[in-house]
Structure 1
Amino acid sequence: TVAGALSPAAAQPAGDDPLAPFLPMADPPVVRAIEIEGLSRIDRAGVRAKIYTQIGRPLDQARLSEDIKRVYGMNFFDDIQVAQRPHADDGVVLVFRVVERPTIVGIDLDVDGDAVDKDEVRQVVDLKRFEILDEARIRFNLSKIEELYVEEGHFLVDTSYQLVPQDNNGVLVRLVVREGRKVEVRSVEIVGNDNIPSDEVEAILATRTGGYFSFLTQSGQFKRELFEQDIQRIQYYYLTKGYVQVRVDEPVVTLSPDKRSMAITIKVTEGPRYKAGALDIEMGDGEWIVDKDRLLRRLSMEPGEWFDYALMQQDVQALSAAYKDRGYANATVSTD
């Protein structure tokens, strides 16, 4: 909480305490001194630099209110109270009473499940020992942990944290992770494939739609690494069909309301289809070791046929093998 000149109800009570609450004044008193109480670890000069109220000038309650906001904005304090006491030279002493936030003395991971390696979870956590507790940063770290689990298909992961008090205003931060069950793939839809049927594309995917007993057999469960391989499979398949400019966009994943199943939509931009043109072989540095016509006869790709990336790779390997068979182990073949 923050209390100050504009909030009399939150100011320090009178009585035996010589500090008195602020009340509206027709003639504001002159500030003769400024004191800060409650500091143990936070640098006093750093806090004082946030207080713009001037000694020797009449108290400006609007400026004091801004001072309180600046000190609180340092994120080092749980509570700030400001009060006054009389000064011997016919003025007042402003007293800032602060309650420091605890210091993190340890970070503990309480992870239930083994879907993500605990070391991977630690790598996304950037909380440090001996830094001032900031619960907003803790929540941010939990969101990063959740993103890590979502990448592995665990959309039902639940995260929370516990603050365990320690000696000397220290605190142990315990991050709690409950991974939940994996999400089942209910449907995979291919869009934008104007020339290759969806069932033909889906046949090459490792990501399958799950059956009734998928939660027992683990079939049909979303796995990020397999899905990324599926994207590469689609691209490669199109390359073997002559679509050398094919593009596969990042998939769109739609969760069911209960987050137990998902629908995946994959957008394909096929681009134009190309045929193989004239085929030729050029020698780089050195001399022809194998007759050029003999090398051309080794090629599987035919001019005028639809370009096939797999055949091109096969031809590259065949040309490379022709030279390696003759002892040229470092011969390289490139395409253009």
Structure 2
Amino acid sequence: MRRLLFLFFALLATASAASAQGVPAGPCTQPDSIEFRGNTRLGDALLRNQTGITPGATINYRDLQRAIKALYGTLQFQDIEVGCEPLAGGKSVLVFRLKERPMLVDVSVTGADQVSPGTVQDQVDLLVGRPVDPAQVTHTIVKIDSVYAAHGFAVAEVRAETTYVDSTSARLVFHVDEGHRTAISGVRVEGNRAISATAIVGAMKSRPEGFFFWEKGELDNAKLASDITENIPGLYADRGFIDMQVLRDTTLLDRKAGKAMVGLDVKEGPQYHVGDFSVNGARQFSSQQIATMYPFTKHSKTLMQTVKEMLHLGVVQDQTIFNRSAWQDATQKVQNAYADNGYLYAQINPVVEREIGRDSVPTVNLRWDIQEGAPAIINRVDITGN
């Protein structure tokens, strides 16, 4: 095709040069008719309209490029050749030789085992009864490969095989070589100062492979995502770093070795100390009763000071490091206490307010906003089987 187009473009260029010198242009620059050969699905009128070339009009190589691009844009052809054939009387015909793409009669996936075959099959969006589109085939391969990478099979290989049923139709099979799960060779942490990399990795579900056979260290993108969004931030939050962020995560894959190095870039942020504590809306329980469920206390704080804090009669600064898990557990204890006393619909809203405290210390003021509601009343008790 390239050679034919080159010769045709050369004829056009020669004709253009001759025309510029006052010499009559050749017949190829003004074809008297346009002919399409090899098309069985689209009619000549439609194709002629696609090319934008009018018989008898002067054309150049840009016109031909646009015409070829437009014909490929129909997604019906896998090869297009252009030629100029002379006719009697100095006339010519512009010929487009078309090779149609085969119609897809069947598509399937083989080799899927470790990942659900249905999940893999769902990535195939090629439609039976339409011409095979190489771009769609490539896109499908990428999608299947991404699914395997997400399940920890980063070395999986996918290839497409086209088998012609006849000259106009074909079957398409995606062959999957799953390989083995990618192992995490190590985790590199940057930006951490308050918590060691060892402690961070210890809080993760995605851990590097170890010496023992059960320490496989398999890479699972879902687990890694959970580590980044929940486990690592949770570790920091339990040590007062509630603003901690994982700024970036990378996975450097060694396909030959089947291993991956995970990189984490963290921003720890400030460490928060516990400041004031208050309770709003509590009537069923006394301040002293609720105070027993509050997890943050100073060694020197007396019961009277605790009561004063809750009644806003005085503020005793508590320099205990904030612990999110302890705060959540305490909130659940309050919820359970209300439920045990019949207040099944009570709502306990834990509030954490950040501020810069004394001596420029980042501080969180804690509060329980309680909506007790009405106690649940047992309407009827049915006993069966006695």
> Quick check: TM above 0.5?
yes
Task: Give runs of aligned pairs for residues 1-336 of structure 1, distance below 5 A.
Answer: 1=1, 6-7=6-7, 27-29=25-27, 30-57=30-57, 60=60, 63-64=63-64, 66-84=66-84, 91-112=91-112, 114-167=113-166, 169-212=168-211, 214=213, 217=214, 219-231=216-228, 232-256=230-254, 258-283=256-281, 288-302=283-297, 303-336=318-351
Indicate if the aligned counterparts of 2:248 and 2:266 stay in contact, CA closer than 8 A.
no
Cα shift readout 1:128-160 (whole Å, capped 9, x = no counterpart): 212221223212211221121112221211111
Distance in 1 between residues matched to 2:342 and 2:46, nearest whole Å = 74
Amino acid at match of 1:230: D
* Alpha-carbon distance in structure 2 between the residues aligned to 1:319 and 1:23: 88
| Comparing 159-168 and 308-317, the one that deviates more | 159-168
Q: Which amino acid aligns with 1:298?
A: M
Query: Is the 1:106–1:171 Cα contact (8 Å) retained in structure 2?
Result: yes
Contact 1:280 1:296 in 2 (8 A): no
Q: Which runs of 5+ in 2 are unaligned?
A: 16-23, 298-317, 352-386
Q: Secondary structure at the match of 2:136?
A: helix
Measure the CA separation in 2 of the matches of 1:207 and 1:59: 63
**Residues 21-30 or 314-323, more deviating:** 21-30
* Cα shift at 1:322: 2.4
TM-score by length of 1: 0.83
Q: Pick closer, same or farther for the CA change 1:297–1:45 going to 2, 3 Å.
A: farther
Paired letter, 1:47: L
Question: Structure 1 pair 274/55, CA: closer, same or farther in 2 (3 Å)?
Answer: same
TM-score where L is the length of structure 2 = 0.73
Structure 1 distance, partners of 2:334, 2:238, is: 20
CA contact under 8 A between 2:183 and 2:219: conserved in structure 1?
Answer: yes
2:286 & 2:165 partners in 1: Cα distance?
Answer: 81
Counterparts in 2 of 1:237 and 1:85: CA distance versus 1, 3 Å: closer
Question: Kindly tell me: are residues 330 and 46 of structure 1, through their superposed partners in 2, closer, same or farther at Cα, counting changes over 3 Å?
Answer: farther
Could you tell me whether the CA contact under 8 Å between 2:206 and 2:223 is conserved in 1?
yes
The amino acid of 1:32's aligned partner reads D
**In proportion to residue count, which structure has more helix?**
2
CA distance in 1, matches of 2:349, 2:232: 24
Following superposition, the deviation at residue 228 of structure 1 comes to: 2.7
Deviation at 1:86, TM superposition (A): 5.9
Assess if the C-alpha contact under 8 Å between 1:320 and 1:332 holds in 2.
yes
**AA at the equivalent of 2:290:** L
Question: Which region of structure 1 is more displaced relative to structure 2, 87-96 or 71-80?
Answer: 87-96
- CA-to-aligned-CA distance 1:264-305 (integer Å, 9 cap, x gap): 22222110000111110111xxx7222234223321223331
Per-residue CA distance 1:169-216 (angstroms, 9 max, x = gap): 1111111110111222222232222011222222222223223564xx
For residues 4 and 65 of structure 1, the distance between their equivalents in structure 2, rounded to whole angstroms, comes to 13
> Structure 1 residues 331 and 100 mapped into 2: Cα distance closer, same or farther (>3 Å)?
same
Structure 1 position 80, deviation (Å):
2.5
Larger Rg: 2
What is the number of equivalent residue pairs in this alignment? Answer: 320
Say whether the 8 Å CA contact 2:154–2:255 is kept in structure 1: no
Displacement of 1:90:
6.1
Which piece of structure 1 moves more, 228-237 or 54-63?
54-63
CA change 1:3–1:75 in 2 (3 A) is farther
Q: Is the 8 A contact 1:22 1:84 kept in 2?
A: no
CA RMSD of the aligned region, Å?
Answer: 3.0
Q: 1:134 to 1:31 in 2, by over 3 A?
A: same
Assess, with a 3 A threshold, how the Cα gap between structure 1 residues 44 and 119 changes in structure 2: closer, same or farther. farther
Q: In structure 2, how many angstroms separate the alpha carbons of the residues matched to 1:98 and 1:335?
A: 71
Letter in 2 for 1:299: Y
Unmatched runs of 5 consecutive residues or more in structure 1: 10-20
Compared CA separation, residues 142 and 289, structure 1 to 2 (3 A): same
